């Protein structure tokens, strides 16, 4: 009996601790989100979307930063999406376990988790040093390189879900392989591939480190991508660490905008992925 009750006690204690661990995890999620909403909502105003980033000590908005972020994200995604989908196609449909494909898969998965600051340094030496100045193009390039592995990996996973009967039926009709892919398989995997693109957007929306030495920042309105361009993450970073109340307030407002955007993208991506799997 004594052994039994000790076993039971151990069991209760251990399981109790695992419940506690879950509570701790959820607690931090809640605390972070609540802080963000409380501080962020107080900072959000119409001016935030109509005015540019202000000089120290005065009020203003985030218009130029929001524009810069959207512009760079859009370019990054437009370039990374076709490359990512094609790469995923090769790795899922054509490779048949060749060593180059195994290597590419392995490296892609590592790049998924690789520190983004390294990508920033890479793009810095590639696109900033030769031109002698920071630029929006360099920022977009670094974001694109971070988005690429995400789209590549999701495409691989989602193409695996398409039944091979579709490929065989198309082949039996004499359909060329590329037509099978573009007109049948991509359509069948459409919502899954879109999931990957959305996850990639969510991933690069909050990326800060690589932008610090590619796009840098710009206090004024600029739509010229060959010049330094304002963007939300870097503005948040600089304004949060400044001693000015107005700037800190804008940083919190920007942080809330980014987080809400990312969480919404995540939710949409999840529901699309669920649709693909069913």
Q: Scanning residues 107 to 136, which ones bind another protein (CB under 8 A)?
A: 107-111, 113-119, 121-122, 125-126
Within 8 A by CB and 6+ apart from 31, the residues are none
Stretch that binds another protein, among 30-38, 47-55, 70-78, 184-192 (CB under 8 A): 30-38
Stretch that binds another protein, among 48-56, 71-79, 187-195, 260-268 (CB under 8 A): 260-268
- Residue among 108 and 135 whose Cβ is closer to another protein: 108
Residues in the chain: 278
Burial class (CB within 10 angstroms; exposed 0-12, middle 13-18, buried 19+) of 30: exposed
Stretch that binds another protein, among 20-28, 54-62, 165-173, 186-194 (CB under 8 A): 20-28
Q: Scanning residues 211 to 250, which ones bind another protein (CB under 8 A)?
A: 212-213, 216, 233, 236-237, 240-241
Does 26 bind another protein (CB under 8 A)? Our answer is yes
- Residue among 50 and 230 whose Cβ is closer to another protein: 230
Q: Scanning residues 145 to 204, which ones bind another protein (CB under 8 A)?
A: 145, 148-149, 152, 157, 176-179, 181, 202
Does 81 bind another protein (CB under 8 A)? Our answer is no
Contact assessment for residue 106 and residue 114, using Cβ atoms and an 8 Å cutoff: no
Nearest to 269 by CA among 204, 207, 191: 191
DSSP assignment letter at 85: H
Does 79 bind another protein (CB under 8 A)? Our answer is no
Cα separation, 25 vs 31, in Å, equals 10
Smallest gap, in angstroms, from Cβ of residue 11 to another protein?
Answer: 4
Smallest gap, in angstroms, from Cβ of residue 116 to another protein?
Answer: 7
Does 44 bind another protein (CB under 8 A)? Our answer is no
Contact assessment for residue 150 and residue 199, using Cβ atoms and an 8 Å cutoff: yes
Residue that is written with structure tokens 């996973």 in the block: 157
Using CB under 8 A, which of 95, 191, 219, 227 touches another protein? 95
Cα separation, 91 vs 157, in Å, equals 10
- Residue among 49 and 94 whose Cβ is closer to another protein: 94
Q: Is 47 strand, coil or helix?
A: helix
Contact assessment for residue 43 and residue 256, using Cβ atoms and an 8 Å cutoff: yes
């Amino acid at each position: 009996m004594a052994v039994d009750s000790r076993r039971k006690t151990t069991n209760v204690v251990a399981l109790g601790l695992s419940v506690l661990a879950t509570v701790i995890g959820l607690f931090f999620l809640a605390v972070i989100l609540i802080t963000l909403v409380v501080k962020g909502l107080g900072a959000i105003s119409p001016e935030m979307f109509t005015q540019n980033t202000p000089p120290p000590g005065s009020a203003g908005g985030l218009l130029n930063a929001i524009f810069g972020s959207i512009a760079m994200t859009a370019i990054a995604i437009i370039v990374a999406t076709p490359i990512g989908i094609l790469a995923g196609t090769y790795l899922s449909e054509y490779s048949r376990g060749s060593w180059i494909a195994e290597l590419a898969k392995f490296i892609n998965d590592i790049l998924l988790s690789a520190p983004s600051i390294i990508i920033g340094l890479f793009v810095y030496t590639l696109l900033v040093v030769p031109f002698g100045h920071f630029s929006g193009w360099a920022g977009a390039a670094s974001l694109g390189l971070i988005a690429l592995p995400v789209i590549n990996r999701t495409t691989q996973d989602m193409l695996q879900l398409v039944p091979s009967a579709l490929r065989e039926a198309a082949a039996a009709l004499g359909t060329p392989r590329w037509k099978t892919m573009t007109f049948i398989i991509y359509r069948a995997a459409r919502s899954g591939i879109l999931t990957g693109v959305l996850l990639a957007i969510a991933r690069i929306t909050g990326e800060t480190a690589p932008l610090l030495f590619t796009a840098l920042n710009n206090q004024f309105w600029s739509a010229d991508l060959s010049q330094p361009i304002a963007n939300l993450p870097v503005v948040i970073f600089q304004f949060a660490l400044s001693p000015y109340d107005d700037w800190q307030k804008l940083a919190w407002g920007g942080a809330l905008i980014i987080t809400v955007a990312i969480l919404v993208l995540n939710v949409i991506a999840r529901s699309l992925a669920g649709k693909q799997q069913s």
